[in-house]
Structures are given as structure tokens and as C-alpha cells.
């Protein structure tokens, strides 16, 4: 076979179909990924203890920019990067005492939900009025995270970063889903307004329907806030009650704080007796009832006579009923329990925590985790059991709803105390495990959201701080420091009316899920028509 010179030359002259991109072009390709991660960090910075709530708007504006018009694979990756940028710093407290393994595992799993949200936002981003569909898709992602896996983990809901923000009154309209939807809608609307303005300047033409939809996305939430303002009030409807919140402090922070369980109990009894002395001296008003935090008596007072005597002595000294946070074993079940302790009758009522914390109060996949790291399983030697009934104590004639610590993150766990008659809410907590991390401030912000959502005074008694008293309008009137013994006494308003959020319950969230489903369905239909038209 002979090969002509021409054919050899042509063979030697073959070049790759695409030449390597210049370095500048390769760097430009990283801009969306970097922007996505950094906008997630920006969203984290908008959360407590900082009061930069407004940073959520540019965070979602940037997120909308990187996702608009993207394909499925790219949007999944960009959504995951946004999730990592947001959740890695937000949840770093989960590794304070147990190391980075559980923290990184939790973030890796939770960020998957945000990756799916990213794909959903990209899918609806070509639809008319896309910020509405996209914001509903975000809330659908939050709804999923609040339920699975292991009964859900709602930490990081956008609403929980808005306790100091102008959107707060919307919590009374439709709870955390409506509040979060308004913030995300404004963020995406902000991007769309800027995008259309730049496009109009470039083309010298205004697309009026698109511009109107973008402006409405940006303007309707603030207008809704103005309409919701009358729902926010700290006026007493059922008189007032004088409440005392006790923070006894702990011998030391960290997971081993409960190694000195008797010392923790003694600290809370001592602080209560100190308050009783001030009441007797006339320097502090006598409280109608006293609220102790979660884990204030990790010694079971039903089985231990010494613990019973200590609590009984504190109740008699203050001359008022106490809600005591105890760890109780009953019928072979370990329970995180609030105990209503009467100064004359002793324990007269109980509430068992229903939403218990996975990997903190019980271990899912115990055998698998034991094979990976026995130290992890050793931290939770026995699983707590779940309660089944809402907690409402009658304390000196006042109906007090109970949502123990982690439960404050779950919409249903707070709402059903109000629908069962609570005139105020208490969130007894124990944050000593997490040292001085941001966790306590994030949880305090949740309680402020709940106060406005249900128009109830909320008290937050915490073992080591920050304990607080919150009025129904979300204002913190008193708070303690961290890792100090202290008490707060205040006359607070009692209320019995129900906000729209309380009455509607899950319905606003379901409505937004339907909006998200409608947008995704419409986007899928448009994409299918496009493929058919192109012969794909």
C-alpha cells in the first residue's frame, strides 16, 4: 500500500477538536462555583448572634444568578456548594465536644437537600415569575429537611435568621414557611430586578411583564409585612403572671457536665433559695411560679430520696410551684421529663419530651456506628424514649406550654401547646454541652420567632445560658450571661387569642409545596416540549 505525501501531511496536521482553554477562561469557569459557596457563607453571616439579617437577600440574589438557566448536573453541584458554605459554619457547634467527624457527616447529608433545591431552582428559573416558583422550591427543601432522615433536622431554616429583621411579623401570618418564603422571594426578586435593568440598558428595551413580575417579587413581601403588623402585640389578654427563670449554671462545660449531676441539681436549688431570700427581703417580687431548665435534675427524684428532698426544699423556700427538668426512668423507659413540683404536694404532673435528638438522646444505626467508632456509641449508652402528649402545665392558674430545647426547632412541637390552651410558652434547655458556641444564640432566635408566630410570651430557662424572657412581639426584655448562676423575675402578659399561623398550622407550608410542585411540573413540561421541537 502506498501512502502519498499529501495523505501523510494531512495526517500529521490533525489537531484536537478543542484546544485547551486559556488560563483566564478556566478561572472564569470557577466564578459560579466560588460565588455559590461564598453566597452560602453570606447567608450564614446573616444568622445570630449577628444581627445582619438583611444579608440573606444578597445571598439569595447571588444564588439565583449562578443557578439561572443551568443544567441539572451543574445546578446540583452549585446547590451543594451553597449548602456547604452555609451549613459548615452554621453547624460547627455540633463538633465542639465530639470532634469534626459527626459535624462533617451532618453537613454532608444536609447539604444534599440544598443540592436538590438548587436543581429545582434552576429548573424553574426560565419560567415567567420564576422568583415565586424558586422561593417555593426552597421552602419545599426546608420542609423535607425538617422531616427526614431520623425525624428531621430543621436547623438553618431561613426564618430562624430573621428574629431581628423587618420580615418578622410574617411569622404570625403563616409561621416559619411564610416568613422564610418572603425572605427568599425578596432575594431572588432582587437579582431579577438587577438582571432586567442591566438587560434593558444593554438592549434599550424594557420587557414590561417580566419587569413587573420582578418588581412585585421584591415589593410584595414588605407590603405584606405592613399588613401583618396589627397581628404583633405584647398586650395582655388574660391578665399577667410573675414568672421566675432559674439558671443554676454547671460545674463545667462539655459532655461531662452531667458527671456531677448532684452538683447541677444543687446549683439550681441554691439559686432558687437565693431568690427566695431576695423575695423575703422585699427586693424582688414573689413569683407565681418558677421555671428550671432541662437537665436541672439528672438524678431521678422519683427514685432518689436525696434529689426529691433538694427539689422539695427549693419549692418550699420560694413558696411557688416549679417546673423541673429531670431524667427519669419509668417502666424500663428513659425519659427527658419536665416535672411540675408543688411546694405542698410534691410532683403532680409530668411532660415527656417528644422530639428527641438523634445522636444526642438516641442513636439511630447503633450497630453500624459501633463498628465505626465505639467512642460515639459510648456517649449515648441508653436511648431516650419519646413522649406522646403535648405538654401544658397549670402553674398557679396559668397555662404554660412546654417545648423542651430541640423541640423549639419544630413547628408542630410548639404549635400544639398553644392549641391545647397555653397562655405562654417555656423552652427549658441545656446548652452546656456546646460550651460558648453560637448554638445557644441560634436557639434563642428560634424562641423569638415562636413568640411572634403564636403571640405568646416565651421564657427560655437554660442550665448555663443564655436564659431569657421574650415578650409576644419577639422582644427580649431580660437575659443572662453564659456560665453564670442567675435568675430572672418579671411580670409577663398572658394571651389566649390565636394568630393565623396558629390556626392554619401546616396549611401555609402545604400551599407552598403545591406552588413548588406546580412550578417544577410546568418547567418539566416546557423542557419536554423543547426536546420534541428539537427532535431530541
Residue 422: Cβ-neighbour burial (10 angstroms; 0-12, 13-18, 19+): buried
Coil, strand or helix at 84? helix
Q: Could you confirm whether 294 is annotated as catalytic?
A: yes
CA distance 464 to 293: 9
CA distance 383 to 329: 11
* Alpha carbon distance, N-terminus to C-terminus of the chain: 43
CA distance 255 to 93: 13
Listing from the earlier edge strand, what are the strands of the sheet with 289-291?
Answer: 346-352, 333-342, 322-330, 289-291, 240-247, 486-493
CA distance 34 to 27: 10
Report whether the peptide linkage leading into residue 149 is cis, meaning its omega lies within 30 degrees of zero: yes
Strands 322-330 and 289-291: parallel
Q: Could you confirm whether 337 is annotated as catalytic?
A: no
CA distances for 447 relative to 165, 244, 403, 477, angstroms: 15, 17, 10, 13
DSSP letters spanning 119-169: HHHHHHTTSTTHHHHHHHHHHHHHHHHTTTTTT---TT-GGGG-TTSTTGG
**Is-contact 75 118, C-beta < 8 A?**
yes
Q: Is the dihedral of CA 497, 500, 501, 503 positive or negative?
A: positive
CA distance 134 to 79: 13
CA distance 248 to 260: 13
CA distance 159 to 512: 15
The closest of 414, 263, 244, 402 to 336, measured between CA atoms, is 402
- Exactly one of 157, 337, 353, 399 is catalytic; which is it? 353
- Exactly one of 142, 294, 337, 438 is catalytic; which is it? 294
Residue 263: phi and psi, rounded to 5, are: -65, -40
Report whether the peptide linkage leading into residue 26 is cis, meaning its omega lies within 30 degrees of zero: no
Beta bridge partners of 493: 240
- Exactly one of 186, 337, 405, 509 is catalytic; which is it? 405
The CA R_g of the chain, rounded to the nearest whole Å, is 27
Residue 282: phi and psi, rounded to 5, are: 85, 10
**Is-contact 235 473, C-beta < 8 A?**
no
Report whether the peptide linkage leading into residue 466 is cis, meaning its omega lies within 30 degrees of zero: yes
Active site residues: 294, 353, 405
Amino acid at each position: 500500500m502506498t501512502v502519498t505525501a499529501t495523505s501523510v501531511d494531512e495526517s500529521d496536521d490533525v489537531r484536537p477538536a478543542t484546544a485547551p482553554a486559556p488560563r483566564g477562561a478556566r478561572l472564569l469557569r470557577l466564578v459560579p462555583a466560588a460565588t455559590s459557596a461564598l453566597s452560602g457563607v453570606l447567608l450564614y453571616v446573616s444568622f445570630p448572634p449577628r444581627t445582619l439579617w438583611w444579608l440573606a437577600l444578597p445571598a439569595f440574589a447571588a444564588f439565583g444568578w449562578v443557578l439561572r438557566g443551568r443544567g441539572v448536573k451543574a445546578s446540583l453541584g452549585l446547590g451543594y456548594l451553597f449548602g456547604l458554605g452555609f451549613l459548615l459554619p452554621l453547624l460547627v457547634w455540633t463538633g465542639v465536644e465530639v470532634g469534626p467527624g459527626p459535624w462533617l457527616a451532618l453537613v454532608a447529608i444536609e447539604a444534599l437537600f440544598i443540592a436538590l433545591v438548587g436543581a429545582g431552582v434552576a429548573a424553574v428559573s426560565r419560567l415567567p415569575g420564576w422568583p415565586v416558583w424558586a422561593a417555593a422550591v426552597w421552602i419545599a427543601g426546608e420542609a423535607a429537611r425538617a422531616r427526614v432522615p431520623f425525624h428531621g433536622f430543621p436547623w438553618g431554616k431561613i426564618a430562624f435568621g430573621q428574629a431581628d429583621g423587618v420580615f418578622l411579623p410574617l411569622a404570625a401570618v403563616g409561621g416559619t414557611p411564610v416568613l422564610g418564603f418572603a425572605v427568599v422571594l425578596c432575594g431572588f426578586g432582587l437579582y431579577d430586578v438587577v438582571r432586567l435593568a442591566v438587560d434593558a440598558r444593554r438592549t434599550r428595551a424594557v420587557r414590561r411583564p417580566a419587569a413587573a413580575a420582578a418588581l412585585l417579587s421584591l415589593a410584595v413581601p414588605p407590603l405584606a409585612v405592613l399588613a401583618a403588623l396589627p397581628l404583633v402585640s405584647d398586650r395582655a389578654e388574660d391578665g399577667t403572671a410573675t414568672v421566675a427563670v432559674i439558671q443554676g449554671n454547671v460545674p463545667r462545660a462539655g459532655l461531662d457536665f452531667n458527671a456531677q449531676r448532684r452538683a447541677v441539681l444543687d446549683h439550681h436549688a441554691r439559686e432558687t433559695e437565693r431568690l427566695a431570700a431576695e423575695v423575703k427581703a422585699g427586693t424582688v417580687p414573689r413569683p407565681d411560679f418558677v421555671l428550671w431548665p432541662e437537665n436541672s435534675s439528672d438524678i431521678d427524684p422519683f427514685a432518689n430520696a436525696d434529689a426529691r428532698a433538694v427539689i422539695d426544699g427549693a419549692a418550699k423556700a420560694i413558696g411557688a410551684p416549679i417546673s423541673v427538668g429531670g431524667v427519669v426512668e419509668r417502666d424500663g423507659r428513659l425519659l427527658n421529663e419536665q416535672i411540675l413540683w408543688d411546694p405542698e404536694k410534691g410532683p403532680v404532673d409530668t411532660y415527656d419530651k417528644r422530639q428527641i435528638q438523634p445522636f444526642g438522646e438516641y442513636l439511630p444505626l447503633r450497630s453500624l456506628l459501633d463498628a465505626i467508632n465505639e467512642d460515639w456509641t459510648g456517649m449515648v449508652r441508653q436511648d431516650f424514649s419519646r413522649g406522646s402528649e403535648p405538654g401544658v402545665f397549670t402553674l398557679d392558674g396559668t397555662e404554660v406550654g412546654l417545648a423542651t430545647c430541640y423541640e423549639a426547632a419544630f413547628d408542630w412541637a410548639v404549635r400544639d401547646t398553644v392549641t391545647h390552651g397555653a397562655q405562654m410558652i417555656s423552652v427549658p434547655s441545656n446548652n452546656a454541652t456546646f460550651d460558648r458556641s453560637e448554638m445557644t444564640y441560634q436557639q434563642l432566635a428560634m424562641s423569638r420567632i415562636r413568640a411572634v408566630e403564636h403571640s405568646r410570651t416565651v421564657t427560655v430557662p437554660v442550665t448555663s445560658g443564655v436564659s431569657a424572657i421574650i415578650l409576644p412581639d419577639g422582644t427580649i426584655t431580660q437575659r443572662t450571661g453564659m456560665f453564670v448562676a442567675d435568675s430572672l423575675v418579671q411580670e409577663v402578659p398572658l394571651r389566649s387569642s390565636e394568630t393565623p399561623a396558629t390556626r392554619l398550622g401546616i396549611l401555609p407550608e402545604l400551599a407552598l409545596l403545591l406552588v413548588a410542585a406546580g412550578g417544577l411540573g410546568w418547567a418539566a413540561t416546557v423542557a419536554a416540549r423543547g426536546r420534541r421541537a428539537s427532535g431530541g
